[in-house]
Structure 1
């Protein structure tokens, strides 16, 4: 069996994920396509991930792609997580993942409405959704608070987890808006405040056209394998959130090449992707929490020493801000209270690496300006460095 070692995997990662300086992109769409999709649970991550891979980092370019020409779109999709991707990728992700997630979101909300015991049902929800869309139309864009002020039904309170220790009373506005967004009937627009804010305005949108789910899964799997291969069946299943049969069928349709990994596992690459790639120039990167280069595989042993995990991950398995050297995760970074970027190396990488990491931190500080970044998911090392 053809063998692709861990060093080759790290070389591929650096080049294909546009982290090597000579391979950086000139457009935000090219960045998103290179990694299939950017994690968007934390609003700042999209900007930090994109700018790390641009030859000329530019917050304005990311904002234009998200809110003006809408060449990037957000979908609640893989693993019930919010991702940002190009319009070329979105239809396949919508059919292969997002529609199923949207259906589950709707059923979850309907269950909570029924459990409340006040006669709120599917018909009530449909009416509130229609009122919300109608209220949004003349405004063009509106915050959740503005929509709640315009639609009294959005101010309805329900009891969730009744009869349990977690019982609490909550408003339905955020849940109704989440369901509308998951269905593709509204989308996030320019937020209140800076690019780091998660207080989004909302604007009307059109759902993506339906297509064949099996074909959509094949397209997503092929794109993912080009960017993340060699990788295992388990990696693809984890990243997509598909079932075993769906994952295997998608891989079989691609007819990938089988390879042996250093871990002893069987990996896959797209057909014809066996050539050895030459090492690039030395490179360093400071990537944000949940960056796709750190969240692309279930098994990250080729890039992440096991003794670094406790410092860099939270209890739910979310990775925090990371420092990279030639395709490996060697430390973490944070922003101090005065805005200075600080980092700690968990591996001894030598003076050349330390100097390049410092240069990359300076490059990052320059385009960030006065912005302040606090990851949504705090990790032990990030908290220590912030303090």
Structure 2
């Protein structure tokens, strides 16, 4: 593991940017909603782990985050990479519409093998949206209920078609997950959420994405943004060029970008960030938010923390470096 001064600084600044270490250089994150807005999207493939990731950064217990989800102040959706994330409700539609087309193109290629035609997808979409709008927020639709809606519309949800349809339709910008009913996921229509959806041209959306990512994850590279968002390299570079209030920093001969506020991070804050130990949940953004995991995770530890086929466990961090799986 490389402990050169530049990489030590990189780790510390990322801990600070992500709200895992304090700083006076920007406003404090005062609750779960603040954390969601700052991070923009936190991976929530494992529901309890996503809740814990927000709670740690807000310095609250999990129950307070779950209460925010119950109030639809935070929602869960597929905004990027075809992967579930927790995010602010006002950012759901524009993020999905910006980032889902490449995911949808790949998904469409799998539909013939599933026995789904474009007409089937259209029928399922219309039926799902109608059911969600009729129910509103007071009666969110369960996953099993969604499968029944598909079946009633003439689209068989069996043999993997139901999960595929929910993920595909959930990435289009009109459907998000609400609070769980027991152990079952629920779904609501974006137009029923209690906030106005932000509507932005594509160029503005790219700038917003890069701004929020670099302020909350930086220092980060264009390759990191490509990994996190699945934008093309050209789009990521364009987005970074349009990002607001960011600065470039050279660490180890590599160009990174971060929020301009980090210029006021003190040496004492960097030292304090590295001095604190953390137990972070599976799929935490500190590990999953970047292309190159080797800066904090040694190759020999990776099978115990994050496998190549996407399994993850909670893990311990000391001085910004993963030291092993949390017991």
Unaligned 5+ runs, structure 1:
159-168, 334-341, 343-387
Return the match for 1:261 from 230, 241, 251.
251
* TM-score, normalization by structure 2: 0.80
Partner residue of 1:205 out of 143, 165, 190 = 190
**Secondary structure, aligned partner of 2:128:** helix
Q: Secondary structure at the match of 1:280?
A: helix
Structure 1 residue aligned with 2:143: 144
How many angstroms apart in 2 are the aligned matches of 1:219 and 1:267?
Answer: 18
Residue of structure 1 in register with 2:70 after alignment = 67
The yes-or-no answer on 1:122 pairing with 2:108 is: no
Counterparts of 1:58-97 in structure 2, within 5 Å, are 58-59=62-63, 61-68=64-71, 70-97=72-99
Paired residue for 1:303?
296
C-alpha distance in 2 between matches for 1:138 and 1:87: 20
For residues 52 and 8 of structure 1, what CA distance do their matches in structure 2 show? 22
Give the unaligned 5+ runs of structure 2.
none
Distance 2:90 2:9 in 1: 29
C-alpha contact (below 8 Å) 1:78/1:240 kept by paired residues = yes
User: Which residue of 2 is the match for residue 385 of structure 1?
Assistant: none
Pick the structure with greater CA Rg: 1
1:324 aligned partner: 317
CA distance in 2, matches of 1:66, 1:105: 30
Superposed, which structure 2 residues align to 1:109-258 within 5 Å? 111-112=112-113, 116=115, 121-139=117-135, 140-149=139-148, 152-153=151-152, 156-157=155-156, 170=159, 172-193=161-182, 197=183, 199-206=184-191, 208=197, 210-254=199-243, 256-258=246-248
SS of 2:58's equivalent in the other structure is coil
State whether residues 154 and 171 of structure 1, in contact with CA within 8 Å, keep that contact through their aligned partners in structure 2: no
The answer on 1:312 being equivalent to 2:314 is no
RMSD: 3.2
Write out per-residue CA displacement over residues 305-331 of structure 1, whole angstroms, 9 at most, x where no aligned residue.
343223322132554211112322222
What's the secondary structure of 1:170's corresponding residue?
coil
Deviation at 1:210, TM superposition (A): 4.5
Alpha-carbon offset, residue 127 of structure 1: 3.0
| Number of aligned residues | 309
Q: CA deviation at 1:56?
A: 2.8
Using CA pairs below 8 Å that are at least 6 residues apart, which structure has the higher relative contact order?
2
Does residue 42 in structure 1 map to residue 34 in structure 2? no
CA distance in 1, matches of 2:47, 2:86: 10
Residues 82 and 167 in structure 2, CA contact (< 8 A), matched pair in contact too: no
Deviations 1:42-97 (A, max 9, x none): 111221111222333142x22232232x2212231222222111245445523431
SS in structure 1 of the partner of residue 323 of structure 2: strand
